[in-house]
Amino acid sequence: MTSPIIITGVGKRIGYALAKHFLAQGQQVIGTYRSHYDSIDELNALGATLYPCDFYDDAQVQALIDALTQLPQVRAIIHNASDWLPDNCQRAPSQVLQRMMQVHVSVPYQLNLALEAQLRAAAGDEIGGSDVIHITDYVAEKGSQKHIAYAASKAALHNMTLSFAAKFSPEVKVNSIAPAMILFNTGDDAAYQQKTLAKALLPKEAGNAEIIELVDYLLSSRYVTGRCHNVDGGRQLK
């Protein structure tokens, strides 16, 4: 049995696609989810080990950590779980910032520290044999006028990539992936899609495959660590 890959936020979109991809390869997958979708039942039927966990609940996070630290080895952790609160939502600004930092920074920080021994054990004597991947966002560098707290939390997650890459070397590689628009939502109308696509040099919907292939590359690489890999269609040049 291979050492498991842990993916947070497997209920939909990128996390769901990654979980299905690795399960199809015969890889052991451990996933977390906050809300129960039909996809959770599907992943469970495919053999994934799934933990319901609200990352805003410290007790649930600690219970998750207690369960995961029982594992002897962990091949990789992919921190995909995310939330996207605008600054003008119904919550107080302090609550918005706290919640964004909790899900994007505090929980990945705690999981990385708690599972360091398991990650190193999976690597064995092989340099760069196991991985941590943080899914950040292209706004971590660009900023966002309407999602300031969100962008700041994703920037903090990228900064942790640098620190953990140094701390976990040489056995464990730590990288981040910063996507822009990967998939439209069902309710996105034509006008919104056209406006969004126009922000990139490559005006297309990238699709989950773009992220899956990059994750596969990072897992197979033995010489890439401490880097951010932008998947944004060249938005920074527009």
Rounded average pLDDT over 164-168:
98
Total domains present in the chain: 1
pLDDT for residue 30: 98
Show the domain range for 39. Answer: 5-237
Using a 10 angstrom Cβ sphere, with 0-12 exposed, 13-18 middle and 19 or more buried, the burial of residue 187 is exposed
Residues 55-68, mean pLDDT to the nearest whole number: 98
Pseudo-torsion of CA 180, 152, 103, 14, nearest 10°?
Answer: 10
The CA–CA distances, whole Å, from 180 to 176, 198, 233 equal 13, 13, 8
pLDDT band with cut points at 50, 70 and 90 for residue 1: low
Residue 2 has what pLDDT? 83
So which residues are the catalytic ones?
A: 150
CA-closest candidate to residue 121, choices 110, 108, 130: 130
Per DSSP, what are the bridge partners of residue 135? 177
Q: What is the CATH number of the domain that holds 186?
A: 3.40.50.720
